[in-house]
Structure 1
Amino acid sequence: MVYVVALSAKELDRIDEELLVKQSFTKTVATASLPADRTPRIALLVTRSSSEDERCPLRWLGVVRQPRGDKVAAVDSRITVELVRESPVPVLMRPLLGEMPLHLRPTLMGALAGEVTVLGDEGSESLLQSLARQDDVLRRMLEFLGEAAEPDPFDPRRAEDRAWQEQYDMTRLGLAIANIPPARLAAWRRPSDPHAPHLAGLIPEPFEQGMIENDARHLDFDTDVFTEAGWSSGDGAAGASFRCDIHVFEHLGSRIEVANINATPVEARLGADLIYYHEATQSFILVQAKRLPSEAGARWMYADRQLLGQLDRLDRVAAMSRAPWAPHEWRLGSDPCFVKLAYWPLKETVDPGPAPGMYLPVPYMRLLLGDAATNGPNEGTRIGYGYVERYLGNTEFAQLVKNGLVGTVGTTLDDLRLLGRERAEEGMSVSLVVDRATAPTREVVKERHKRNHTRGYDKTLAKKVRRNQSRNAGPGQQSLFGS
């Protein structure tokens, strides 16, 4: 099934940078015009036709995973198009009319002249087939979006699904810190191996870089050298059970390399870690996720010996940091390790951001566990909602990391590699994220601060992308969206 969203050329130009930045688009429509079923659909953003002479370029593609949208008024709903991608090849929609059956042409003509039209099954299938015949890259893009529209859901009754869900959340957090839309992880199929990392099921986007990553993802941690990330595992310290899957993500000047590492059977996993390393400043933070019950009113956990032992190990991780020697190395605190008490709503949503939860620095958590506020019945100690008054949420925590205000000082990639291995051997599902930068440290820190504190800075980056695209297009090349 297909949504056709037709906007004027002027409006598409106005929101161009915003679509590049957010890779999502929202539109308010009449609820009565939306489909009755809730099957996710591919969406096409095209230039609206005001006369038969206009050829209506296809500008963007995406998916609507909530076809009924969210109610915003008595008669209106808001739909969201996610995973918005530019059309990889020039496509003019009006000439496609000649490829469709006669009885379907009036419907498509009406869609090109309207605002939001939901095509029926037959019209959708015919249009998608016509688009797929235009170019092989476009065909693969449509196949990718079809997969992304309906990713495999997690089943919390299965141990492997709980482990994948937690590792997925840590990876999403890493992407959010790096200013990369977490929806990039949306296209996912459950791996056949229950012990495999979450990234083993990620469906790569249909471009050359993504396909190279796919070929390189399924690697053995003990024998392969990860040259792009600077990690070597050739010293034989790791066991043959290590499994490491790697993927590269880039967006508006940001580049991160993500490794999901597992070293124990899924039944022996103790939780999930995020280790986020900013290479230019030699700094990392470690977040250990702990799952809370999903039921409202019971979102807490007992502080047992296992939890206390894990806090002790995090103290040893914090000892890897040294004192700051330069202004850019100053941190708000000396501890780079946090515990995230997270929960997943019983009703699965399509929110691409990290799961709800509270972030607690390890020293603060120890204070809480020693305070009367966390006393439960029968001399038990509880930690979670209802027992902790102050904590960091997703947005606050991500901002601290983005600004370099928390994390280690003076830790190397070798330190990172060894730590990732140790955490995996201890039974954690590890998401290792390396934030790369080629500029000098001072320039990286300056640019990071500017990006986080200058309003509209990402749109400025998007404009640079557009200028570079125009500059790289030769004089004989036709504009992608020319009329």
Structure 2
Amino acid sequence: MTYIVTLTADQMADNEDDWPISERFTKGLPTGLDTSDTGTRLVFLVCDNRARSANGHEEFAEHGRFIRWMGTVQRFNTVGPVDRSITIEPMRRCPKPVPLDGPDGILASLPSAHRAHVERALSGSAGHCGMTTWQALREVLLRRHPELAPYIDWLLAHLNPVVFDVGDAADRAWQEQRDAAQSLTRVTDFPHSALSAWGRPASRDEPYLAGLIPDPVENSLIDHDVRAGLGGETPLFDDWRQRSDVRCDIHVLEDSTGRRLEVVNVNATRVESRLGTDMIYYHHPTHSFVLVQYKRLEPRNKEYRVNKQLLDQIDRLEQVSKLSSQPAGSNEWRLSQDACFLKFAYWRNGTGSSTELTRGMYIPLSYARVLLEDKCTLGPRGGRIFSYERANRYLVGSEFAELVKLGRVGTVGTSVEQLRDFGLQRAHEGYSVMLGYETSDETPRERAVRVRTRSAKNRPKVNSYSPPAPQQPDSDAPGS
């Protein structure tokens, strides 16, 4: 189904301040409305301004009905024995209102049968139309308003995430990197939707971010954000994109308070020779980083059989602790010296949510060492096995994210230069690296208050963009 939600001008105005931040709206459905999980599951939010606005909002001065926002049905909710609602998430505002009525409106260009279906969907507070009507509506929308194409493509990518084949090396690598990207948005409280609209890159060897479908933004908002200081800073890792020994892609998330996350996705080997994925998160105000190395559980039994490769990798990761200094103040105290974790996760063939984390066990290295000496991991043939049943004191994703958000784990006194050297080293060793570099002017107390504040209304506006690639040197330029 393709849904149409109709609001009065006053209802639209009451919500529009919140939607750019929350990206979410829950709407009750009329009793008896079909909620089959079929079709596009796109949502068009229409402002009905045929009646005069009581508040006299200038932006709704024109009469008629206008498509103002678009979104996707994230889930269907059961309110009671009969009543249902839909949660629309994410949402994006159209670059300009799309008129439905009048000689220049969308309805006038639709064939009569499809126009009747759309009018029926518009007749109440919420309705829907079928696939053939959606196809006719889409054709007219893109012909009359081609600027909507990237919005529709971005939303459909959320609704139809890529089906990964766990038997394919490239798909396995992209699965892990996508989970690492989503982990970075969780530990930094940036929108999950910013890094999840995706299609397979042209080459199997390219990083996950090479296939990122850009978040559509209004040109006027981009111009305003650049003037306000958002989007004007050169990425710290920009020079990596000019190196011949690695492939590097960068995406930046930045909010209106100046807090900034530079997401850097880099590899240096062909996918068939990769050793797995590392997620590295660096918090610049505290000069601290955390590393998560991905390990794949066998999907049927959810087990990982320890081998020499894992033992060697643990040895190398334990050297990371030598980069850390002793805490010199209360804000540098950590729960332990562990800055590296293993995430034992499992994936099955099929389509999963593009924004949810893959289930798995987060195990600190010191705990991994204990498990390797404990009889609980001893297999029937003398080998060692990690599994949910054998390692019952692991962290889940939400617990791990909370520790990182609050600065309870990670290195102490690690420089940016050490981070850069370490990130390149891991890529050259054969890992796909998803690195997040966060900067902000927050004090430790302000950071803790933000993390513990759950209300979406207090969140600042976020700008999401891929910086332009650096100019390659001109070989014909003088002195080259």
Normalised-by-shorter TM-score class? 0.7 to 0.9
Q: CA deviation at 1:197?
A: 0.7
Measure the CA separation in 2 of the matches of 1:347 and 1:74.
32
* TM-score of the aligned structures, taking structure 2 as reference length: 0.81
CA deviations over 1:317-337 (Å, ceiling 9, x no partner): 121111122332222222211
Distance in 2, Cα, partners of 1:145 & 1:268:
34
| Residues 1:131 and 1:293: Cα distance change in structure 2 (over 3 Å) | same
1:61 Cα offset (Å): 0.9
- Superposition map of 1:385-404 within 5 A: 385-404=388-407
Looking at structure 1, the residues matched to 47 and 238 of structure 2 have their Cα atoms a distance apart, in angstroms, of 47
Give 2:134's aligned residue: 124
Deviation at 1:88, TM superposition (A): 2.0
Compare 91-100 and 160-169 and name the one that shifted more. 91-100
CA positional deviation for 1:241: 4.4
The alignment status of 1:246 with 2:250, answered yes or no, reads yes
Look up the match of 2:473. Answer: none
CA separation of 1:198/1:364 partners in 2, compared to 1, >3 Å: closer, same or farther? same
Describe the shift of the 1:168–1:143 C-alpha distance in structure 2 as closer, same or farther (beyond 3 A). closer
Q: Does 1:445 align with 2:458?
A: no
Given that 1:30 and 1:75 are in contact with CA atoms closer than 8 Å, whether structure 2 keeps it comes out as no
**1:329 aligns to 2:336 (yes or no):** no
User: Retained in 1: the 8 A contact 2:240–2:248?
Assistant: no
Conservation of the 8 A alpha-carbon contact between 1:39 and 1:65: no
Once residues 113 and 351 of structure 2 are traced to their aligned partners in structure 1, the CA distance between those partners, rounded to angstroms, is: 39
Distance 1:409 1:231 in 2: 25
Provide the C-alpha distance between the structure 1 equivalents of 2:26 and 2:239, rounded to a whole number of angstroms.
44
Alpha-carbon distance in 2 for matches of 1:62, 1:436: 30
Q: Partner amino acid for 2:308?
A: R
- Residue by residue, what CA displacement relative to the aligned partner does 1:372-412 show, whole Å, maximum 9, x if unpaired? 11121111111121011212111111111111111111112
**Alignment deviations for residues 451-470 of structure 1 (CA, whole Å, 9 cap, x no partner):** 112342x41235x89xxxxx
Aligned residues of 1:137 and 1:207 also touching (Cα < 8 A): no
Deviates more, 1:131-140 or 1:276-285: 131-140
Q: 1:277 to 1:159 in 2, by over 3 A?
A: same
Change (3 A) 1:384 1:257: same
Aligned to 1:289: 294
Name the SS for the 2:20 alignment partner: helix
Report the count of equivalent residues.
437
Q: Does 1:202 align with 2:206?
A: no
Change in CA separation of 1:207 and 1:108 when aligned onto 2, cut-off 3 Å: same
| Secondary structure in 1 matching 2:65 | coil
User: Which whole-Å deviations, capped at 9, do the CAs of 1:240-272 have from their partners, x for residues lacking one?
Assistant: 442111111235644311111111221111211
- Say whether 1:316 aligns with 2:319: yes
- Is 1:91 matched up with 2:98? yes
Q: How do residues 162-311 of structure 1 correspond to structure 2 at under 5 angstroms?
A: 162-207=172-217, 227-230=234-237, 232-233=239-240, 240-251=244-255, 253=257, 254-295=259-300, 298-311=301-314
Contact 2:73–2:89 (CA<8 Å) still a contact in 1? yes
Moved more, 18-27 or 196-205: 18-27
Residue of structure 2 in register with 1:159 after alignment:
169
Superposed CA offset, 1:425-470 (max 9, x none): 1221110111122x2xxx44232111112342x41235x89xxxxx
**Most deviating of 99-108 and 258-267:** 99-108
2:310 partner amino acid: L
**Hey, what does 1:38 align to over in structure 2?**
38
Tell me which moved more, 182-191 or 344-353.
344-353
Task: Please report how far the alpha carbon of residue 4 of structure 1 lies from its aligned counterpart in structure 2 after TM superposition.
Answer: 0.9
1:340-379 alignment, distance < 5 Å: 340-350=343-353, 352-379=355-382
Partner of 2:225 in structure 1?
A: none
SS of structure 2 residue aligned to 1:379: coil
AA of the residue aligned to 2:71? G
Q: 2:315 is aligned with what amino acid?
A: D
Deviation at 1:74, TM superposition (A): 5.9
CA-CA distance at 1:99 after TM superposition: 3.4
Distance in structure 1 (CA, Å) of the matches to 2:331 and 2:247: 35
Letter in 2 for 1:459: K
**C-alpha deviation, 1:114, in angstroms:** 1.5
Match of 1:149 in 2: 159
SS at match of 1:344: coil
Partner of 1:222: none
Aligned counterpart, 1:469: none
C-alpha deviation, 1:33, in angstroms: 3.3
2:438 aligns to what? 435
Q: Provide the C-alpha distance between the structure 1 equivalents of 2:255 and 2:100, rounded to a whole number of angstroms.
A: 28
2:89 corresponds to 1:82:
yes
Q: Against the structure 1 CA distance between its residues 27 and 380, is the aligned structure 2 distance closer, same or farther, given a 3 Å change threshold?
A: farther
The alpha-carbon deviation at position 77 of structure 1 amounts to 5.4
Q: In the aligned structure 2, how far is the partner of 1:266 from the partner of 1:307? A: 19
Distance in 1 of aligned mates of 2:18 and 2:392: 37
Structure 1 CA distance, aligned partners of 2:173 and 2:191?
22
Deviates more, 1:148-157 or 1:168-177: 148-157
Question: Partners in 2 of 1:50 and 1:89 — Cα distance?
Answer: 18
Call closer, same or farther: CA 1:252–1:134 in 2, change over 3 Å.
farther
Using the alignment, how far apart are the partners of 1:332 and 1:171 within structure 2? 25
Provide closer, same or farther for how the CA distance between residues 251 and 39 of structure 1 changes in structure 2, counting only shifts above 3 A.
farther
Tell me if the contact between 1:65 and 1:150 (Cα under 8 Å) persists in the aligned partners.
no
Paired letter, 1:268: S
Structure 2, gaps ≥5 residues long:
53-61, 223-232, 463-480
Could you tell me how far apart the structure 2 residues matched to 1:305 and 1:18 are? Answer: 52
Q: CA deviation at 1:111?
A: 2.1
> Which string of whole-angstrom CA distances, capped at 9 and with x for unpartnered residues, describes residues 110-149 of structure 1?
3223233221334323433443355443343234334443
Whole-Å separation in 1 of the counterparts to 2:30 and 2:360? 35
Query: Gaps (5+ residues) in structure 1?
Result: 213-225, 466-483
Residues in 2 aligned to 1:233 and 1:143: alpha-carbon distance in whole angstroms: 29
Which position in structure 1 is the counterpart of 2:478?
none
2: CA distance, partners of 1:305 / 1:78? 52
Identity of aligned residues (%): 39
Paired with 2:49 and 2:119, the residues of 1 have a C-alpha distance of 9
Q: Is the 8 A contact 2:280 2:289 kept in 1?
A: yes
Distance verdict in 2 for CA 1:303–1:123, change over 3 Å: same
CA deviations over 1:351-388 (Å, ceiling 9, x no partner):
61211111111101111111111121111111121011
Q: 2:164·2:175 contact (CA, 8 Å) conserved in 1? A: yes
1:473 equivalent in structure 2: none
Q: How far apart, CA to CA, are the structure 1 residues paired with 2:248 and 2:364? A: 28
2:114 match: 104
Change (3 A) 1:48 1:152: same
Q: Is the 8 A contact 2:161 2:353 kept in 1?
A: no
